[in-house]
């Protein structure tokens, strides 16, 4: 069926709530390879992200209902399974293209339906392989004093098995790619395209005139919880307090359930200021001196690029896929150890030296301009998808990417 495929073919996207679908859809549309966008948000959200209106097939009702359940504090059994509901909606819309790209976890319910079809299945991963993801979350739980789970949850098992049906894996970083190749996936079948940010919206902010007597502001953006490295942020705040450093740690984002107990014991130099979006989020980047994402698992971390675009040096953990954007000591740091001794050796010089921060921030901005704009991302998507189309055109009975 792929003999007719030349340089492009429509690709249907199925996505739950991920914001990333907007740039993906726009990149595909640039070379006429976008089919349907079946999403779990209201249509207006996708329009605001630049998705062509004719492509949007929105099914937001499960997400709206679950949001209401959360606000009203209704019992969990009343909540709907958003991925399963979206998969049913997608199937009802027939998904006409030969290519289906699925985000998040709806693929658990969609891919098995096409096991014996001619449809080419693409699993777009914003995170690492589910088993690696689980292992890293358990590491975060252990460090924070929570009891670890010894067995893989059923949801991780089902994600792993459904993922074995994918013909291609969409990867946003080398770390995601490695997590799949180590588990038996063909490197040839991985469409690796680093993510990007809007370097115009997140414009450069000159911090040279900031008063020297104000505390150094270390900013983290994301869901506040174990996976994002809350325990490590607490360690940094406690180290700074013991060392009598003028350093404050500021976290922007919603709280996970486990975060509340941990934050109750946080020192006063760590603050969580809630969710900020759009220009309010940009202002928080502008008010910061350093950006940090100390995650235990992170496919890339777009907020790294947002911070770098505004002129912030980026500090990341080695478990963060965005480490590939970091040139050590030039535009940021990659930390493998968050002990007091390691922080004194690696982080302290940057905290104390404003000129070094400013120079690294300028380099960080240039890194984004050189490698992580939408133009770079769109070119990568076109390159990798055309490679995929060509491979499908020349291969009969294409097998899944998983080779055991």
Q: Count how many residues are written for the chain.
A: 404
Least Cα distance to 233 among 244, 243, 218, 253 occurs for 218
The yes-or-no verdict on residue 356 having pLDDT over 80 is: yes
In a 13 Å sphere around the CA of 63, the CA atoms on its Cβ side amount to 15
Query: Which residue carries 């998808």 as its tokens?
Result: 385
Is the pLDDT at 2 greater than 90, yes or no?
no
Whether 402 has a pLDDT exceeding 60, the answer reads: yes
Q: If you average pLDDT over residues 328-339, what whole number do you get?
A: 96
Q: How confident is the model over 93-131, as pLDDT tens digits?
A: 888 899 999 988 899 999 999 988 889 999 999 999 999
pLDDT digit string, tens, across residues 364-392:
999 999 999 999 999 999 999 999 999 99
- For residue 219, give the 3-state DSSP assignment: strand
CB 35 within 8 A of CB 60: no
3-state secondary structure labels for all residues of 42-64: CHHHHHHCCCCHHHEEECCHHHH
Instruction: Tell me: pLDDT of 301 over 60.
Output: yes
Percent of the chain with pLDDT over 90: 84
The share of the chain scoring above pLDDT 70, in percent, equals 98
Amino acid 8: pLDDT: 61
As a whole number of angstroms, the distance between CA 115 and CA 279 comes to 44
pLDDT for position 134: 94
Cα-based angle 166, 300, 370 (whole degrees, multiple of 5): 115
Three-state DSSP class for 106?
A: coil
> Which candidate, 7, 48, 384, 396, places its Cα nearest to that of 190?
384
With a cut of 50, say whether residue 71 has pLDDT above it. yes
The predicted pLDDT at position 7 comes to 53
Range in 1-5, 46-50, 105-109, 356-360 with the lowest mean pLDDT: 1-5
Question: In 125-202, where does DSSP find H-type helix?
Answer: 130-143, 154-163, 174-181
15 alpha-carbon distance from chain centroid: 14
> Token digits for 138?
């358990």
Residue 24 pLDDT > 70, yes or no? yes
For residue 21, give the nearest of 9, 34, 8 by alpha carbon: 34
pLDDT of residue 4 exceeding 50, the answer is: no
Helix (H) or strand (E) holding 30, with range, is helix 21-30
Pairing assessment for the beta strands 270-272 and 290-293 based on DSSP bridges: unpaired
Cβ atoms of 121 and 165 closer than 8 Å: yes
CA distance 231 to 251: 12
pTM here is: 0.94
Give the model's confidence band at 1: pLDDT under 50 very low, under 70 low, under 90 confident, else very high. Answer: very low
Mean of the per-residue pLDDT values of the chain: 93
Q: For residue 316, list its beta bridge partners.
A: 293, 334
- Which whole number is the average pLDDT over 68-94? 93
Q: Give the mean model confidence (pLDDT) for residues 400-404.
A: 94
Residues 6+ apart with CB under 8 A from 160: 129, 130, 131, 152
């Amino acid at each position: 069926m792929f003999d007719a495929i030349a340089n492009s073919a429509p690709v249907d996207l199925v996505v739950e709530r991920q914001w990333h679908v907007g740039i993906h859809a726009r990149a595909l549309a640039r070379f006429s390879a976008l089919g349907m966008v079946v999403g779990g948000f209201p249509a207006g959200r996708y329009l605001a992200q630049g998705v062509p209106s004719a492509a949007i097939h929105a099914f937001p009702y499960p997400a709206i209902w679950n949001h209401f359940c959360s606000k009203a504090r209704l019992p969990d059994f009343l909540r709907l399974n958003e991925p399963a509901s979206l998969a049913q909606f997608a199937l009802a819309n027939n998904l006409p293209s030969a290519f289906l790209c699925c985000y998040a976890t709806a693929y658990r319910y969609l891919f098995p339906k096409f096991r014996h079809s001619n449809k080419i299945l693409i699993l777009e991963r914003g995170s690492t392989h589910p088993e690696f993801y689980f292992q890293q979350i358990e590491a975060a739980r252990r460090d924070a004093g929570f009891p670890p789970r010894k067995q893989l949850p059923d949801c991780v098992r089902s994600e792993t098995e459904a993922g074995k049906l994918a013909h291609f894996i969409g990867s946003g970083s080398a770390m995601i790619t490695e997590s799949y190749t180590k588990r038996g996936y063909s490197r040839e079948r991985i469409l690796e395209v680093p993510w990007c940010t809007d370097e115009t919206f997140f414009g450069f902010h000159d911090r040279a005139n900031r008063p020297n007597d104000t505390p150094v502001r270390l900013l983290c953006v994301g869901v506040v919880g174990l996976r994002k490295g809350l325990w490590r942020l607490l360690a940094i705040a406690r180290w700074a307090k013991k060392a009598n450093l003028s350093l404050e740690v500021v976290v922007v984002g919603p709280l996970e359930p486990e975060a509340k107990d941990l934050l109750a014991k946080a020192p006063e130099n760590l603050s969580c200021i809630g969710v900020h979006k759009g220009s309010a989020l940009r202002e928080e980047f502008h008010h910061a001196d350093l950006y940090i994402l100390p995650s235990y698992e992170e496919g890339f971390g777009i907020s790294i690029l947002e911070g770098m675009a505004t002129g912030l040096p980026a500090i990341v953990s080695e478990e963060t896929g965005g480490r590939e954007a970091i040139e050590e000591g030039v535009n940021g740091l990659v930390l493998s150890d968050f002990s007091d001794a390691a922080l004194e050796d690696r982080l302290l010089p940057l905290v104390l030296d404003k000129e070094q921060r400013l120079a690294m921030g300028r380099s960080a901005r240039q890194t984004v301009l050189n490698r992580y704009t939408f133009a770079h991302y769109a070119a990568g998507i076109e390159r990798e998808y055309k490679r995929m189309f060509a491979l499908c055109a020349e291969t009969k009975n294409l097998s899944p990417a998983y080779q055991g």
